């Protein structure tokens, strides 16, 4: 009997879905817009995250070492920095490599290269380029470099300059921008999703309002609340599934068209490539949201008429 009722409920849900074609189409279109907003938020968060990562990668602290510093001491300092939890990477640029880089940057500046050739030895010092995991952690790194932990094995200073103070204002501003962007992105996401859910819920309420007389008749003949509610929940799930399929299908040509533009504007993230690579995850999120939105909205909307 239980499975018989389940079959009847599912069949009634499909019949209601096809019989009320225009109403079903309206619900599907509204849910498609809602799911498109949710999907767009996923792409927005991905591009925002890529932009923030690019900003972080452009900020570093350069440690200029004295020309008399021994390589063993420099390597020991590099090792000490690498094991710090705040440090993401440490690049060691030797004096010889620093000279090669300098000549390459000034390859069209003949007077500078001529002046450099007049010198009897390499005037450039070795450099440690430090990238922290978060911009706000550079101060901790700078304090470490100023402490006795950064001295050589014989307790001699091997650091001639740290450019943290020169970049401190820029790093502080960048940290504020990143934190504000994260908060704004989260607030915008929540607001858009809430608005979309409210619109979907009210649309399905209107759909079920047209069936209020049918619900009343079913109650009069003794149908249980679960039996009455079942077909509407099934219809809601169908709305969600069809709307999800339309949303996923729409995103393919849209992201393909916008892929090159976003790659140029958002520092390398191609939304089409992101869509293809993360399709399984996006598929589960969109389908899951569609089913939940349709079924829950139908469940809550029909509850009002069951109390009449």
Phi and psi at 93, nearest 5°, equal -110, 115
Question: What sign for the dihedral angle of Cα 157, 159, 163, 164?
Answer: negative
Phi and psi at 183, nearest 5°, equal -65, -40
CA distance 287 to 279: 12
* Least confident piece of the model among 6-10, 142-146, 294-298: 6-10
Instruction: Please classify residue 76 by burial: count the beta carbons closer than 10 Å to its beta carbon, then call 0-12 exposed, 13-18 middle and 19+ buried.
Output: middle
Q: What is the pLDDT of residue 230?
A: 76
Q: Please state the rounded mean pLDDT for residues 16-28.
A: 71
Q: Please state the rounded mean pLDDT for residues 209-237.
A: 73
Percentage with pLDDT > 90 across the chain: 2
CA distance 78 to 150: 10
* pLDDT > 80? residue 196: no
The number of beta carbons lying within 10 Å of the beta carbon of residue 301 is 21
* pLDDT > 70? residue 223: no
Which residue is it, tokens 């300098």? 102
Q: What is the pLDDT of residue 284?
A: 92
Q: What is the pLDDT of residue 78?
A: 85
CA distance 264 to 286: 27
Q: What is the pLDDT of residue 184?
A: 77
Q: What is the pLDDT of residue 190?
A: 75
Rounded to the nearest angstrom, the gap between the alpha carbon of residue 237 and the centroid of all alpha carbons in its chain is 28
Q: What is the pLDDT of residue 121?
A: 77
Rounded to the nearest angstrom, the gap between the alpha carbon of residue 96 and the centroid of all alpha carbons in its chain is 41
Instruction: List alpha helices for the chain, DSSP H.
Output: 2-19, 21-57, 71-82, 95-105, 110-117, 138-146, 164-209, 212-220, 225-265, 271-277, 279-306
Average pLDDT of the residues of the chain: 77
Q: Are the C-beta atoms of 86 and 98 separated by less than 8 Å?
A: no
- For helices 138-146 and 71-82, the axis angle rounded to 10 degrees is 140
Instruction: Please classify residue 190 by burial: count the beta carbons closer than 10 Å to its beta carbon, then call 0-12 exposed, 13-18 middle and 19+ buried.
Output: exposed
- Output 277 or 202, whichever has higher pLDDT: 277
Q: 162, 160, 153: which is closest to 77 by C-alpha? A: 153
- Output 277 or 52, whichever has higher pLDDT: 277
Q: What is the pLDDT of residue 97?
A: 83
Q: What is the pLDDT of residue 50?
A: 75
**42 SS3 class:** helix
β-strand partners of 169: none
- Full-prediction pTM beyond 0.75? no
Q: Are the C-beta atoms of 63 and 80 separated by less than 8 Å?
A: no
* pLDDT > 60? residue 2: no
* pLDDT > 80? residue 305: no
Band of pLDDT at residue 151, cut at 50, 70 and 90: low
Residues 6 or more apart from 2 whose CB is under 8 A from it? none
Question: For 52-105, how does the pLDDT look when each residue is reduced to its tens digit (9 = 90+)?
Answer: 677 666 677 888 888 777 888 888 888 888 888 888 888 888 878 877 777 787
* pLDDT > 70? residue 266: no
Q: What is the pLDDT of residue 12?
A: 61
Q: What is the pLDDT of residue 289?
A: 86
Domains detected in the chain: 2-55+175-306 (no CATH), 67-157 (3.30.70.3040)
Q: What is the pLDDT of residue 168?
A: 67
* pLDDT > 80? residue 109: no
* pLDDT > 60? residue 210: yes
């Amino acid at each position: 009997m239980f499975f018989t009722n389940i079959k009847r409920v599912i069949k009634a849900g499909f019949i209601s879905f096809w019989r009320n074609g225009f109403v079903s189409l309206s619900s599907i279109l509204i849910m498609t817009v809602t799911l498109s907003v949710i999907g767009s938020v996923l792409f927005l968060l991905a591009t925002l995250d890529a932009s923030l990562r690019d900003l972080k990668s452009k900020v570093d602290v350069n440690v200029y070492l004295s020309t008399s510093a021994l390589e063993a001491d420099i390597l020991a300092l590099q090792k000490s920095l690498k094991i710090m939890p705040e440090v993401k990477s440490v690049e060691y640029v030797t004096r010889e490599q620093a000279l090669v880089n300098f000549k390459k940057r000034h390859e069209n500046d003949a007077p500078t290269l001529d002046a450099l050739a007049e010198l009897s030895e390499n005037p450039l010092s070795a450099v440690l380029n430090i990238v922290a995991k978060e911009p706000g952690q550079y101060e901790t790194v700078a304090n470490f470099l100023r402490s006795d932990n950064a001295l050589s094995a014989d307790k001699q200073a091997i650091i001639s300059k740290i450019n943290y103070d020169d970049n401190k204002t820029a790093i502080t501003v960048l940290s504020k921008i990143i934190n504000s962007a994260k908060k704004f992105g989260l607030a915008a996401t929540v607001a858009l999703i809430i608005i979309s859910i409210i619109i979907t819920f009210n649309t399905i309420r209107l759909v079920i309002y047209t069936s209020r007389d049918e619900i009343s008749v079913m109650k009069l003949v003794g149908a249980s609340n679960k039996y009455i509610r079942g077909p509407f929940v099934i219809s809601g799930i169908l709305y969600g599934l069809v709307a999800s399929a339309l949303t996923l299908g729409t995103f393919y040509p849209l992201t393909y068209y916008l892929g090159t533009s976003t790659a140029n504007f958002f520092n390398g993230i191609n939304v089409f490539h992101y869509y293809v690579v993360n399709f399984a995850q996006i598929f589960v999120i969109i389908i899951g949201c569609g089913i939940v939105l349709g079924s829950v909205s139908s469940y809550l909307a029909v509850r009002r008429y069951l109390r009449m």
